[in-house]
Amino acid sequence: MHPTLEVTRDPAAVRAAQALRHAVFVEELGARTDGPAGWEADAFDAHSDHLILRDGDGVAGTTRIGRGEGPGFYVEREFDLSALRASGRRMAEMGRTCLRPDHRGGAAAALMFAGLLDHLAAEGVEVLVGVGSFHGADPVPRLPALACLEARALAPRALRPVATGPSAVFPEGPADAAAMRDVPGLIKTYLRAGAWVGRGAWVDRPFNTVDVCLVLDLARVRRPRALG
């Protein structure tokens, strides 16, 4: 059976996506969440579209697409988006992206990304923002990679998010190109697609990650062949 994509807010489909998120983020990666048992869920889900990749075994991948409705953008819990908001560009947010293990490293992620771009174009979105994560909540080993990301792909000041609050960390000192090997594949692929990063990172201890903010201007996007 060929994989299929849908963008939906159907409650049953969203619950299936939340179950996959629980399997990946909670069971596999050790996140702590307050959602119902077996689901990784929060207040943003009901106000978002959900891009769902299906195959013969059910939900194989998902991405949440927020438009700032209800509680707003999830990313604003971690990053100041004042510059982006002042730009007047129409924004959307990607988040909670995950794939089942048997669909990683292949065509499934590229299919999801292409579907995401098509949906955003149809909705007239101009700028996509979201969080890219390093696994593990200790920021110190991540500082060289964070410095390298900022040296290579820091967002222009007019669109630049900035990490905010007591969980924000900022790399200092020169960037070592070798540190790029420690950057997760998902972040690298968004960079290849033309994304920038914001200033600083945010330590999400309950989710067991160190997060950077990704900014993708859809007018300059380059479609990658694969994610990861």
Structure confidence by residue, pLDDT tens digits, 110-162: 899 999 999 999 999 999 999 999 999 999 999 999 999 999 999 999 999 99
| Confidence category of residue 227, pLDDT binned at 50, 70, 90 | very low
Residue 163, H or E segment: strand 162-163
Q: Are 201 and 211 in contact (CB under 8 A)?
A: yes
What is the distance between the alpha carbons of residues 70 and 47, in angstroms, rounded to a whole number? 6
| Confidence category of residue 7, pLDDT binned at 50, 70, 90 | very high
What is the distance between the alpha carbons of residues 180 and 120, in angstroms, rounded to a whole number? 29
DSSP 154: B
pLDDT of residue 57: 81
Structure confidence by residue, pLDDT tens digits, 11-49: 999 999 999 999 999 999 999 987 778 999 999 999 999
Structure confidence by residue, pLDDT tens digits, 163-185: 999 999 999 888 899 999 999 98
Instruction: Extract the tokens encoding 18.
Output: 């939340």
Structure confidence by residue, pLDDT tens digits, 62-103: 999 999 999 999 999 999 999 999 999 999 999 999 999 999
pLDDT of residue 1: 66
pLDDT of residue 171: 95
The closest of 80, 79, 76, 83 to 157, measured between CA atoms, is 83
What number of other Cβ atoms are within 10 A of residue 153's Cβ?
Answer: 17
What number of other Cβ atoms are within 10 A of residue 176's Cβ?
Answer: 12
Pairing of strands 209-217, 127-135: antiparallel
Q: Is the pLDDT of residue 213 over 70?
A: yes
- Integer distance in angstroms from the first to the last C-alpha of the chain? 23
What is the distance between the alpha carbons of residues 78 and 133, in angstroms, rounded to a whole number? 12
The per-residue pLDDT of the chain, averaged, comes to 93
Distances (CA, A) of 144 to 135, 161, 163, 167, 172: 15, 20, 17, 18, 9
Instruction: Extract the tokens encoding 125.
Output: 């979105």
| Confidence category of residue 228, pLDDT binned at 50, 70, 90 | very low
Structure confidence by residue, pLDDT tens digits, 26-35: 999 999 987 7
What is the distance between the alpha carbons of residues 170 and 168, in angstroms, rounded to a whole number? 7
The closest of 223, 138, 217, 143 to 183, measured between CA atoms, is 143
Question: What's this model's pTM, rounded to 2 decimal places?
Answer: 0.92
Q: Residue ranges of the alpha helices (H) in 101-178?
A: 107-122, 143-153
